[in-house]
Amino acid sequence: MYKGYIPEDKVFLAVDCIIFGFDDEDLKVLLIQRDFEPEKGKWSLMGGFLKQNETLDDAASRILYRLTGMHDIYMEQLYAFSEVDRDPVARTISTSYYAIINIEKHNEKLIESHNAKWFSLSKVPNLIFDHNEMLDKAIKRLRRRTSINPIGFELLPEKFTMRQLQKLYEAILDKELDKRNFINKIRSMDILIKLNEKDMTSSTKGSYLHMFDQEKYNQKNDNDFYLKL
């Protein structure tokens, strides 16, 4: 990591990624167990250093790809953390990004090779440095963002049931929602396609599958999606 000589006035630039996924029950975050000092063995966000010819966005994409094998992940810059002693080894400013991915699509082997593991938000351990703070900020941002933009779909499989969608929102917002009110609100956004296909795994009756309608979504304004839930 911080190999070789560290000049006195050097400030390192890092990017750390808060990666969210959803497994039909819980909102989860992908963490790696450090196999190097300092803080070896402790859990941490996936991160890396900025390269000379890339933007922060590029760096975040690269880091996300390295861990998940996925391209074109939804992500957003969160905040630049700059406490002078936040990293005990060297002055490092870390710009955090949060990303949300379909938990089924990531590359299991890559994750294993990085000693990474999914943690339910309620079971996140103490992380290195200020990474818990980063995670908290990401959760807050995700909550606000999903109230304004229907980005939650990024976390679901292509075809999903209303029940799954509701559980996702409940997990993000950490509160229970009324089934009927929820469906009415989602329907009023008018960006879902109801398929003639049922998911039979969750009940005997089966529940209709839906898809996100990207086209309809593109035709609307952001403001059309404000959902008070």
Partner DNA sequence: TCAAAAGTGTTTATAATACACCCATGG
Partner DNA sequence: CCATGGGTGTATTATAAACACTTTTGA
Residues that bind its own copies (CB under 8 A): 8-9, 11, 13, 50, 52-57, 77, 79-80, 82-84, 91, 93, 95
Minimal distance, residue 51 CB to DNA, in Å: 44
Length of the chain: 229
- Burial grade of 183 (CB within 10 A; 0-12, 13-18, 19 or more): middle
Partners of 13 in the beta sheet?
93
At 3, list the tokens.
């190999």
Q: Which does 54 bind (CB under 5 to 8 A by kind): DNA, its own copies, none?
A: its own copies
CA distances to 39, 84, 89, 198, 211 from 5, rounded to whole Å, are 20, 19, 12, 61, 53
Q: Which does 91 bind (CB under 5 to 8 A by kind): DNA, its own copies, none?
A: its own copies
Nearer to DNA by Cβ, of 126 and 204: the residue is 204
H-only helix segments in the chain: 56-68, 108-113, 131-148, 162-173, 179-189, 214-219
Q: Which does 162 bind (CB under 5 to 8 A by kind): its own copies, DNA, none?
A: DNA
Nearer to DNA by Cβ, of 3 and 205: the residue is 205
What phi-psi label fits residue 211: left (phi over 0), alpha (psi between -120 and 50 degrees) or beta?
beta
Which span sits near DNA by CB under 7 A: 18-26, 57-65, 116-124, 199-207?
199-207
Minimal distance, residue 137 CB to DNA, in Å: 25
Distance CA 191, CA 220 (A): 9
Q: Which does 229 bind (CB under 5 to 8 A by kind): its own copies, DNA, none?
A: DNA
> Per-residue x/- mask for DNA, residues 145 to 184, rule CB under 7 A?
----------------xxx--------------xxxx-xx
Minimal distance, residue 161 CB to DNA, in Å: 6
Residues 6+ apart with CB under 8 A from 112: none
Distance CA 147, CA 127 (A): 28
Q: Which does 93 bind (CB under 5 to 8 A by kind): its own copies, DNA, none?
A: its own copies
How far separated are the first and last CA of the chain, in Å rounded? Answer: 44
Minimal distance, residue 180 CB to DNA, in Å: 3
- Which parts of this chain interact with DNA (CB under 7 A)? 161-163, 178-181, 183-185, 198, 200, 202-208, 226-229
